[in-house]
Each structure stands twice: as C-alpha cells, then as structure tokens.
Amino acid sequence: MSEQVWKIRRPQRAIPREGPPNLRGMTRAELGEWLAKTIDAPAYRADQVFAWIHQRRAQDFAAMTNLSKAERATLSEHASLAQLEVDTVQRARDGTRKLRLRTADGEFIESVLIPNDERGLTQCISSQVGCALDCRFCATASLGFRRNLDTWEIVDQVARARAMLAAETDAQNSAQASAQASGEDSEDTGAEVWTPRITNVVYMGMGEPLHNFNQVRRSLEVLTDKGGEAIAGRRITVSTSGLVPAIQRFAREGLGHEVGLAISLNATTDAVRDQVMPINQRWPIAELLAAVREVPTNRRRRVTFEYVLLGEVNDSQADARRLIALVREFRCHVNVIPFNPHPHAPFRRPAQARVASFMAALRRAGVQCWLRTPRGDDIQAACGQLALDQ
Ligand code: SAH
C-alpha cells in the first residue's frame, strides 16, 4: 500500500531581504557587531541605538540625538527602521483588540491584545504568514503557508501595539483636558488615563513558531532584553503543534529556561490526532511526549498542554481519562479551549455539559487546568480564528 505520508509544506516565498537591514530585528549583540563594522562605533553605541529603537520608540535615525550627525547620516543610508503598517484595529465587546498588520511585501498578519487578570494585556503574536501544518480545526491553515516572518516583523507587532495604546491614551487625556477646560464633565475631573501595559506575550497567533525557529529565537532575545522591551521570559509562552525536532532543539539550546513552552495536544489517541493534526502522522503522541520530557525547565516553570475540545470528537469521559494518564507525569497545566467555530472547519463547539464534566474529571485527578473561554469572538479574534478575508 502506498499511503502518502504527511509532509511539512514549504513556504511559497522567502523572507524579503532586499535593501538595507532592518535594525529592529537585530539582537543587541548583532547590532553591536553591525555598528562596529558599518560606522566603526564603540561598543556602547549598540546599547544606545537599541534603547532608541525598543524603549524610546525612535521613528528614524535623526531622532537619535546622542549619536553624531555623521553617524546618523551613515545609518540612514545603510540601515532601515521600517515598521509594519497598522491596517485595521477592531475592538471586541470584551475589550479584546485585533490588529491587522501589513508587511512591506503586501502580506497581512494579525495580532490580538487580550485584557488579563493583572489589569494589563496579553499580546498574542504571529510567527508566520499562514501556516504549514494544516490542523483541521484552525482557521489559519486555510491560508496555506505564504512565508516566515522576519525577526523584526515578529518584534514589531509588540512595538505597533504599544504605539497604538500610547496614542489612545494621549487622545483620551487630551479629550479630558479640553473637556475640563471648557467646564464640561465636572464629575470626571479625574486622574490622567494610564496606558495599559502589555504584561505577557504568547506566540499563539498565526503560524507555527517552532517552524520559524531562527527568527523566533532571535525575537525572544530582542523582546526579553533588559535594554529594550524587557518583557520577562517567564511572561512569554511559545506554543507548538508538536514539531518534535524543533522541540529537541528548543531543549538543547536551553530555551526552556528562558520562556514557557505550550504543546497543542488536542487529542488523546493517535487515531484521532492523526485526523485533526496531520503532523501527528509524522510525530505521534509518544514521540511528542518523549521530546517534551527532555525539555529542561526551571523549577518554577510548568509546561502547558493545550487541548482544544471538539464537540463529540475528543470531549468524552474516556478522552478525559486518557488525557490525565498522558499528562500526569509532567509538572504541567492544561488549558482546555472549547473549539471556536469558523467557516473553515467542520467541527462543533462542545456542549456545555460535556465541557463541565471534562473539566471536573481533570480536577478530580488533581491536574491543574484552566478553561479558556473565547475572547474577542465577535471580531473573529478568538483562539484559532485568525485568518484573513481576502
Ligand atoms: N501553531 C502553534 C500556535 C498557534 S495555534 C500551535 O499549534 O500551538 C494556538 C492554539 O490555538 C493552539 O493550541 C491551537 O490548538 C488552538 N486553536 C487553533 N484553532 C482553534 C479553534 N478554532 N478553536 C480553539 N482553539 C484553536
């Protein structure tokens, strides 16, 4: 029998890299080397330029006033600070916001800001345009795999979100100030509005982060750098569908000590997982879990298993029992995500009673678990709904 074995798709195109390099995608060390080579700059220049880009939000080199005029001129000639273009922003009833961003070569990606319990926002970012993995329940799969995102395109999703939030705050404050000046709104003579903070970043938007390993690893280094955005590694989670060789590399390179890892398990038997996540035909559950076992982590950190509940497909009590048996050995928590329906997938949202008994079974067994209710589903921003109407 010549059954076709599932193969990972190739991108339709390469990352566009014509023109001068974009400094937004360089780690501080890379920036140092590049600056030494290009403008013969002393080492401390890298810290300055890095801070201009990632903390002070410089739009161009002219703004970098602690550099000499000559250095600024050379940089404008040999380097770029291009940004993603914010195409649209949608706001859901629950405060979730979805940004649609346009790349220089005309591709679109999405990123979502979700209010969290710490009065901040969790940003869900994309790592690829489309995805190669074809998970049957996921909207992004319907786009095919256009290309990998470059490091700066991953990092810049956070910068664009921060810039948008800052602009919103400015607008609110100046509206408040002018209302006060004209004597309106006397009850609301209140405090300045603060810009909400992005406290957490999850690589759970479009794409498979571990399939774009080099760019994702670099983006982690840039985002966590204390001289830049300084997002703590323990507040970052990289989510994978189970690309075993890349999980092994993640382990080897010590990334488990740096950031959180989430595994999209989504089924408890190979028969079902083969169907809903074709990657399982290549790396079945036992191999996936063997790889996860090898990821060294800090004592405080747990691995996350994500489990999308597909109505009548993987939401039975037998599934709950098998899931418990699979994850029991790990210091982990399980995120149970009821399927968010969208036009590209033939599945149903699970019945509420089945969700409740699934959760109850996990809890009885002492598995730490959370039910992830859909956020921003009225703007198609909920888990797995990121695909673009084109
Ligand atoms: N490729 C990575 C990250 C993107 S998907 C991964 O597979 O982990 C992020 C999470 O959303 C995954 O756990 C995935 O199983 C889940 N997901 C995808 N489509 C969904 C949908 N329609 N409803 C609920 N969760 C979904």
Domain spans, the chain: 23-78, 85-166+193-379
- 71, 110, 153, 208: which one is catalytic? 110
pLDDT value at residue 217: 98
Ligand 1 lined by 27 (C-beta under 6 Å): no
Task: Give the global pTM.
Answer: 0.95
Residue type for 140, please?
T
Q: What is the best residue among 140, 204, 339, 375 to mutate for testing ligand 1's pocket, by most ligand atoms within 8 Å of CB?
A: 204
Q: What DSSP character marks residue 339? A: -
DSSP 12-41: SSPPP--SSPBGGG--HHHHHHHHHHHH--
264 lines ligand 1 (CB under 6 A): yes
d(CA 27, CA 223): 9
Closest CA to 161 of 223, 216, 112: 112
Strands 145-148 and 198-203: unpaired
DSSP designation for 61: G
- Measure the CA–CA gap between 157 and 110, rounded to whole angstroms: 9
| Distance, CA of 75 to CA of 143 (rounded, Å) | 37
DSSP 147-171: EEPPHHHHHHHHHHHHHHHHHHHHH
Does the Cβ of 71 fall within 6 Å of ligand 1? no
Residues of the chain with pLDDT under 70: 1-4, 184-190, 389-390
Decide if domain 23-78 falls under CATH 1.10.150.530.
Answer: yes
Q: Best substitution site from 109, 143, 145, 264 to test ligand 1's pocket, by max atoms within 8 Å of Cβ?
A: 264
Q: Which residue has the tokens 């298993």?
A: 305
Smallest CA-to-CA distance from 210 within 138, 291, 99 is with 291
171 burial level (CB within 10 Å; 0-12, 13-18, 19+):
exposed
Residues whose CB is less than 8 angstroms from the CB of residue 133 and which lie 6 or more positions away in sequence, other chains included: 8, 141, 208, 211, 241, 277, 278, 279
- Asked about 138 being catalytic, the answer comes back as no
- pLDDT at residue 296 in the model: 85
Give me the pLDDT at residue 390, please: 52
Q: Which is the catalytic residue, given 131, 135, 138, 383?
A: 383
Domain spanning 85-166+193-379: CATH 3.20.20.70: yes
Put residue 242 in one of left, alpha, beta given phi > 0 → left and psi -120 to 50 → alpha: left
Cα(143)–Cα(11) distance, rounded to whole angstroms?
12
The answer to whether 245 touches 284, Cβ cutoff 8 Å, is: no
Q: Is 384 in the pocket of ligand 1 (CB under 6 A)?
A: yes
Type of residue numbered 174:
S
Rounded Cα distance between 128 and 144, Å, is 11
CA–centroid distance, residue 253 to ligand 1 (Å):
25
Give kind and range of the element (H or E) at residue 175.
helix 151-181
Closest C-alpha among 344, 195, 207 to residue 264: 207
359 contacts: CB under 8 Å, gap ≥ 6:
336, 369, 371
Quote the Cα angle for 223-224-227, to 5°: 90
How far, in Å, are 221, 270, 309, 354 from residue 321 at the CA level? 39, 15, 14, 14
* Residues ≥6 apart with Cβ < 8 Å to 184: none
Tokens of residue 298, six digits: 């800090």
